[in-house]
Structure 1
Amino acid sequence: MSKGTKGLAFYLVMIIVFGSLMYFIAVKGESQQMDDLMIFNEDTPTTLTDGFAVFRHIILEHIQSDFGLLLLQIIVILLACRLFGWLFKLIGQPTVIGEILAGIILGPSILGHWFPEINGFLFPEESLANITLLSQFGLILFMYAIGMELDLDEVRKKLKETILISHTSTVVPFFLGMLTAYFVYDKYADPATPFLSFALFIGIAMSITAFPVLARIIQERGLTKTHLGTISLASAANGDITAWCLLAVVISIAQAGSMLSAVYNIFFSGVYMAVMFFVVRPFLRMIGQVYHNKEVIDKGLVAFMFLILLASSYLTEILGLHALFGAFMAGVIMPSNIKFRKIMTEKVEDVSLSLFLPLFFASSGLRTQIGLLNTPGLWGMCLLFILIAIIGKFGGATISARVVGESWKNSLYIGALMNTRGLMELIILTIGLDMGILSPTIFVMLVLMTLVTTFMTTPLISFIKFCFRTHDKFVEQKRLEHLAGIFRILISFGRASNGQVMLDVAHQMFSKGENKLDVTALHLTIGPDVNPLHTDNFEEVSFGPILYGAKKLNMQIETRYEISNNASQDICNIVNQEGYDFLLVGAGITWSDLPDDIAATEYRERQGRYLRRLKAESWFFPGALLKDKTKYFIEGARCPVGVFVNRNFVKATEVIILIDRVDDLFLFDYAQTLLKSTHGQAVVLDRTTAATPGRELIDQKIQAFVSEKNNTKLLSQKDITEDLLDNYNFMLVSYETWNLISENRKEALQTMPSTLILNQK
């Protein structure tokens, strides 16, 4: 008897013996029950129908329990936020707008108005405290992460360039906000709210910039390392630090009731700031030098950092500055070692962004009652707030940027970016509502102002670009004239290891051409929520192998990293708008010979026929992961495209060229340049017949190619076989021919070598 059979026999005996013994114990135990303790009456179910009624009662009881209802609320909130965030991403807007809107839709303005029964079941008044408490804790984690995104050293370096822009775009809207508050206080403010507190809060609400949203817009636009992106980010960071310090003072004054009463709050707040910067920060800087990678950062250190976060939040809460300010400061003073900050944000950010922030959006939405704006006068006041916010922020940033020497185009861009408010604004408004400074009506107006000013950023940037299109075309034309005599290649790759291999392909294919070679390596990260702190690390990992390969080849290459929502579209846009001469991309996993890719392809093929019947294949196989983008690149790019299939490529020394039609003859031009570089051998597989159009020209070109070089020859056979392809390490084929043979000769292609699929434009 084998070991497996013995194990199975023992398992069955064990189950039978111990199962029987447990059943015997249960029966004997029940027989010992006292009659007066037996739970048996006329309500005890005696049929399956009665049992189902009891089961339904238990289910309903658990659904309506506090914990069960909270879990259901979280599920609904997360689904709504993800759905609306995805919809707004499709139209090129920050996902945060959709998430804020999802919170409003779940509140009394939409769901409560049209479906009051559902709203009452999902969000009963007594359950909202739990959501609010969880969302506040999530905001603490979020503000901690935001603080870590701000690099004080970088802010200090750009201080001279950005102080006028950042402070003008803070002071001007702050003043306009206070001026507006002066005229609306009597009619719209709560009579119990002091004017100073009301005016200061309106001012700070007008002057904030959403640094996280702005950073992600700059990433998506590919502006991170440009002068414009650097100035905008530094100005926003500088302005946010100023605005949050002003907010701390405003909250102190609001809670104390007057300037004189707030003196002690402000004094001890200054002591708190001094301790954080001159005592805690130097200590943390030392920790950051020692603990700088995941190997040495243990749970004890992480717990200590969270203790600092909570202690800082607690101190600012009892000082009257609000816990969120303490969380922000705890993030700001974290060790400047970028690796340490990346590790800590990884610990915090995913949970805070994915779970807790949607709860905050829902909590805010449940208190946003758009129905309060029920008269033309109130809507007019709302429009006035929006107009003043735009004039103050957009106008102030634009004029100040122009004063410091920026062009009108860059100044308008900076104004549009600084006008973004987003989540940071919503946080401030929620604080004002919780403190009773902002009435529900004013809160609704300012929430709508937040949505409008955030939503308008992307369209406004596009409009500015449209207005300066003539100037941009002139600049681009001059740049292209400067690049005359240079052959520009864009290599787009996903996996870091593929980058080095594709560089070898590009070097062998084009280094012996007539023009000087200029290579740009492009890597895209998919998704709009990439933290700016992590992009440097992504770049280092992604471009490491290709930079190593370039050094070995003694080549100078440019690396380019961008955030993208649609990789294929963005790659084609870059190629077309920037005038590249050739696009080299990978073929995806379909023809890869790596074990994991083979398994994924086989699974896709097995399941695809069932999913296609349901028209649901795209649900399970997202295009960015499994579907080849070959057709999109071929049709979308205005330059020639090469799609590379990697089969352990090293050097193209044994090349096979497939000729199936007269349009394939352009492959000989590529082959000649390739053979100059590799000094290899090439064979031509002529698959044409006597009936093929252009047969005479095909024969002439083949004979000219074969007779020109000693290391080339024409194969006698006419078709592809597994044995044939196994003799070569590189194949050149046109896109049209590839489409034909990949369908009709798929089995033969299982042994194909590394292949470059080419399309001529």
Structure 2
Amino acid sequence: MKDPGQLAILLLQIATIIALSRAMGMLFSKFRQPQVIGEILAGIMLGPSLLGWVWPAASTWLFPAGASMTVLSMLAQVGVLLFLFLVGLEFDPEILRQRGKTAAAISISGIVVPLALGFAATYPLRSLFDPAQQAHLFPTALFMGAAMSVTAFPVLARIVTEWNLQRTEEGGLAIAAAAVDDVLAWTMLAAVVAFAPATAISHGDAGPMLKLLLAVAYVGAMLLIVKPFLKRIEAVFDRQGSVTPGLLAILLLTLLLSSFTTEMIGVHALFGAFVAGLIMPKRNKFVHAVTLRLETFSLVFLLPTFFAFAGLKADLRTMLDPTMIGYTLLIILIACVGKLGGVSLAARWTGLSVRKSVTLGVLMNTRGLMELIILTVGLQLGVINQRVYSMMVIMAIVTTAMAAPLIQLLMPRVTRRGEDDKIFSILIPVAKPKSGGPLIELAAYLTGGDTTHHRLCAVHLTQPTGAEMFRSITGDVLAPADRLELEPLLETAREKSLQVEPMAFYSRDVPSDIARIVRQQNIDLLLMGYHLPVFGHALLGGIVHRVLTGTDCDVAVFVERGLGKPSRILVPFMNSSHDRLALDLAGKIAKTTGAAISIIHVSQHADRKTAHPVIERAFQDPTQKQAVTIKVVAGDSPASTILDEITDPDLVIIGVAEEWGLESSLLGMRPERIAQDCPASMLIVRRYAAPKQ
């Protein structure tokens, strides 16, 4: 077979990069770590640190020097430009109105302290740098300080939303301070680039001060000339109701020309991309529409190429030397003391408690992708070498990864409710509006309308875009359009005089967030609809499987087939803990509706004695007037036996069990027969078993 051409190699490079970065990102998100850590590590794995070390021939073949690598490099830089344009676009000045002064004080301290420490530490660490860098140590020290002081706003915003900190004082301040940080950081980067020695990406012979003056003039022109023009673009958007190809072309031209201008001035194209986003109209609908058009392509296609490009520049093999490990740990310590310490002290000075101040410092200490972008610029400028670059990449990964576990330690402990333990709490997750009504009707039958001893909560979770994640901090947790998902449920609840606590959140991992809400709200029963998984046909696969196996409460999955007020309830029974939960719920519904209950006990031997005591205990409440009939049936196939016995029930309540063919699995490739062939509505239940101490 002939050698592949440059185009074939480029296509294979991109396919490999996207596949590995998505896989690693998803893996790390399962451990409640920011997805960007996995994506950064995916890039490092493709570089000399792993692939080039373990299989040099494959590394050379997949990433050969030549045209494909040049194109990959350009794609990476375009991806970063588009990403920073979106970061600027998502910046909302409204966030600073309530917390502006406090956020500014915290942000300035979080910039100045690590900047000073990073700048000062460069001189005693001069031996790490090349001779040419030692000869021009001032721009190198300035760059090291700037790299130490950056905060990854997108990562911070995701951590805040995932841990539901939007409404906390420290969460709101972190977002506001990080927003100020973003503006200061990219302004500072422009200054660092201006002071850097002449390189391939530093055009012209203009001195640093002239470059800075030109940059100030450029920003003034963007604010005074381009921004008013873009206001007219927003008016066109309002008339047309969408971002047309023509409007999108104008926005992209603004981005490209702005980046070109700052690149020619000598303060880097990244600064121009950020400013172009910063001056865009900030109304929610416009930002949301533009973000939807650009974000997915940028995050899925272009940014992974940047991770790979950055990973190819890092060589962690040089870190195996004990001396280098010591230097790396020292850099991590300086970065944490500067950023975490500077932010925490400033927050404490503004009146926050110690816990809130440290939480704020931990949040602001995340660096992630922003750090990687700045480090790549420094490597291109020649102000740092590959060795220091690799150390700083490790620092970025460590400071980002440490945020989630530290936040978990710092969050206030959720305690049980004491007297409220007698309250039976039901949580109803709602994905689509049409599923809410039937679920709340079933909840009404379970509670009997008793609001004294029962509590109903409804939650809608949706995956946010970057802009929505930013705006969730400034206003409501979800936009009004998203909260409408709960409206049919709430309307039915009002008709039945039920009190429901509605909740709506952005979520990047719905099953994990449902489990978190269950713990925080002390939920006793999770009542949800079923959702077919992406792969397979099983009702208990995909998201439902993850909820069933990862939630610390009883779970009931409702398969709705036109259930009205039930008059006949069938409970298949084999004396498992799940079957006993089915009996309990059947009793609650029958007490409200007066429905007759038929219990079919399937056994290899038709012995009524084995089931009778358990069933009697389940219905020993003297206030229950419902008729209960028990039938013991012998059969080798419980599922077939039950299907043969079903005549005309309105509702079948059945426990999760392998014997019924209702064992949950992540990838259920065949539908469960009993769920598929049963003509009545079904409630499939799982009893929670607390882990043994």
TM-score by length of 1: 0.76
Between the aligned partners of 1:751 and 1:529, the Cα distance in structure 2 is: 43
Maintained 8 Å contact 1:142/1:352? yes
Map of 1:557 onto structure 2: 501
1:558 Cα deviation from its structure 2 partner: 2.2
Map of 2:91 onto structure 1: 150
Maintained 8 Å contact 1:220/1:528? no
Maintained 8 Å contact 2:548/2:686? no
- Where do residues 480-559 of structure 1 align in structure 2 (5 Å cutoff)? 480-481=417-418, 483=420, 486-513=423-450, 515-525=452-462, 532=469, 536=478, 539-540=482-483, 542-553=485-496, 555-559=499-503
1:454 Cα deviation from its structure 2 partner: 1.8
Matched residue SS, 1:452 = helix
Map of 2:667 onto structure 1: none
Between the aligned partners of 2:95 and 2:139, the Cα distance in structure 1 is: 33
Amino acid at match of 2:168: T
- Where do residues 277-296 of structure 1 align in structure 2 (5 Å cutoff)? 277-288=223-234, 291-292=237-238, 295-296=241-242
Map of 1:41 onto structure 2: none
Is 1:452 aligned to residue 406 of structure 2? no
Map of 1:349 onto structure 2: 295
Map of 1:35 onto structure 2: none
Is 1:684 aligned to residue 598 of structure 2? yes
Map of 2:189 onto structure 1: 247
Map of 2:120 onto structure 1: 179
Map of 2:364 onto structure 1: 418
Between the aligned partners of 1:104 and 1:652, the Cα distance in structure 2 is: 59
Matched residue SS, 1:406 = coil
Unaligned segments of structure 2, at least 5 residues: 473-477, 635-640, 664-671, 689-693
User: Using a 3 Å threshold, how does the CA distance of structure 1 residues 371 and 547 change in structure 2: closer, same or farther?
Assistant: same
Maintained 8 Å contact 2:458/2:500? no
Amino acid at match of 2:312: L
Question: Which of residues 245, 249, 262 is equivalent to 2:208?
Answer: 262
1:363 Cα deviation from its structure 2 partner: 1.5
Indicate the percent of aligned positions where both proteins have the same amino acid.
Answer: 32
Moved more, 179-188 or 399-408: 179-188
Amino acid at match of 1:460: L
Amino acid at match of 2:682: T
- Where do residues 324-335 of structure 1 align in structure 2 (5 Å cutoff)? 324-335=270-281
Moved more, 218-227 or 182-191: 182-191
Is 1:637 aligned to residue 558 of structure 2? no
Which structure ranks higher in relative contact order (CA pairs < 8 Å, sequence separation ≥ 6)?
A: 2
Map of 2:638 onto structure 1: none
Maintained 8 Å contact 1:285/1:336? no
Between the aligned partners of 1:742 and 1:201, the Cα distance in structure 2 is: 60
1:75 Cα deviation from its structure 2 partner: 2.3
Maintained 8 Å contact 1:177/1:199? yes
Matched residue SS, 2:607 = coil
Between the aligned partners of 1:569 and 1:734, the Cα distance in structure 2 is: 25
Between the aligned partners of 1:642 and 1:299, the Cα distance in structure 2 is: 47
CA shift digits 1:515-549 (9 cap, x unpaired): 25432223345799996259735833643443444
Map of 2:173 onto structure 1: 231
Between the aligned partners of 1:85 and 1:759, the Cα distance in structure 2 is: 31
1:423 Cα deviation from its structure 2 partner: 0.8
Map of 2:655 onto structure 1: 735
Question: Which of residues 649, 669, 679 is equivalent to 1:752?
Answer: 679
Between the aligned partners of 2:631 and 2:386, the Cα distance in structure 1 is: 85
User: Using a 3 Å threshold, how does the CA distance of structure 1 residues 411 and 727 change in structure 2: closer, same or farther?
Assistant: same
Matched residue SS, 1:583 = strand
Maintained 8 Å contact 2:469/2:506? no
Aligned Cα RMSD in Å? Answer: 4.0
Amino acid at match of 1:632: T
CA shift digits 1:158-189 (9 cap, x unpaired): 21231222111111000101111233347625
Question: Which of residues 564, 571, 580 is equivalent to 1:658?
Answer: 571
Maintained 8 Å contact 1:726/1:751? no
Map of 1:299 onto structure 2: 245
1:119 Cα deviation from its structure 2 partner: 2.5
1:574 Cα deviation from its structure 2 partner: 3.3
Amino acid at match of 1:523: H
Moved more, 680-689 or 303-312: 680-689
Map of 2:525 onto structure 1: 582
Amino acid at match of 2:244: D
Map of 1:211 onto structure 2: 153
Between the aligned partners of 2:597 and 2:320, the Cα distance in structure 1 is: 80
Amino acid at match of 1:750: D
1:284 Cα deviation from its structure 2 partner: 2.9
1:389 Cα deviation from its structure 2 partner: 0.6
- Where do residues 581-660 of structure 1 align in structure 2 (5 Å cutoff)? 581-589=524-532, 604=537, 623-624=541-542, 628=545, 632=549, 636-638=551-553, 640-649=554-563, 651-658=564-571, 660=573
TM-score by length of 2: 0.83
Between the aligned partners of 2:606 and 2:246, the Cα distance in structure 1 is: 78
Amino acid at match of 1:239: D
Which structure: larger Rg?
A: 1
Unaligned segments of structure 1, at least 5 residues: 1-55, 466-470, 591-596, 606-620
Amino acid at match of 1:243: A
User: Using a 3 Å threshold, how does the CA distance of structure 1 residues 181 and 713 change in structure 2: closer, same or farther?
Assistant: closer
Matched residue SS, 1:229 = helix
Matched residue SS, 1:218 = helix
CA shift digits 1:197-233 (9 cap, x unpaired): 1221111000001111112222222323433322222
Maintained 8 Å contact 1:646/1:755? yes
Between the aligned partners of 2:581 and 2:323, the Cα distance in structure 1 is: 70
Between the aligned partners of 2:205 and 2:137, the Cα distance in structure 1 is: 12
User: Using a 3 Å threshold, how does the CA distance of structure 1 residues 281 and 501 change in structure 2: closer, same or farther?
Assistant: farther
Maintained 8 Å contact 1:722/1:752? no
User: Using a 3 Å threshold, how does the CA distance of structure 1 residues 170 and 747 change in structure 2: closer, same or farther?
Assistant: closer
Aligned residue pairs total: 658
Map of 1:10 onto structure 2: none
CA shift digits 1:568-605 (9 cap, x unpaired): 45434432453223221224449xxxxxx9xx86xx48
Question: Which of residues 45, 48, 51 is equivalent to 1:105?
Answer: 45
User: Using a 3 Å threshold, how does the CA distance of structure 1 residues 323 and 653 change in structure 2: closer, same or farther?
Assistant: same
User: Using a 3 Å threshold, how does the CA distance of structure 1 residues 81 and 401 change in structure 2: closer, same or farther?
Assistant: same
Amino acid at match of 1:151: D
Between the aligned partners of 1:549 and 1:275, the Cα distance in structure 2 is: 55
1:237 Cα deviation from its structure 2 partner: 1.4
Maintained 8 Å contact 1:582/1:641? yes
Matched residue SS, 1:191 = helix
1:142 Cα deviation from its structure 2 partner: 0.9
Amino acid at match of 2:609: P
Is 1:221 aligned to residue 163 of structure 2? yes
Matched residue SS, 1:490 = strand
Matched residue SS, 1:656 = strand
1:136 Cα deviation from its structure 2 partner: 0.7
CA shift digits 1:237-281 (9 cap, x unpaired): 121211112222222233689999333322232222223334433
Between the aligned partners of 2:306 and 2:277, the Cα distance in structure 1 is: 20
Amino acid at match of 1:197: P
Moved more, 369-378 or 696-705: 696-705
Matched residue SS, 1:366 = helix
1:665 Cα deviation from its structure 2 partner: 7.4
Matched residue SS, 2:124 = helix
- Where do residues 55-134 of structure 1 align in structure 2 (5 Å cutoff)? 56=1, 59-60=2-3, 63=4, 65-127=5-67, 128-134=69-75
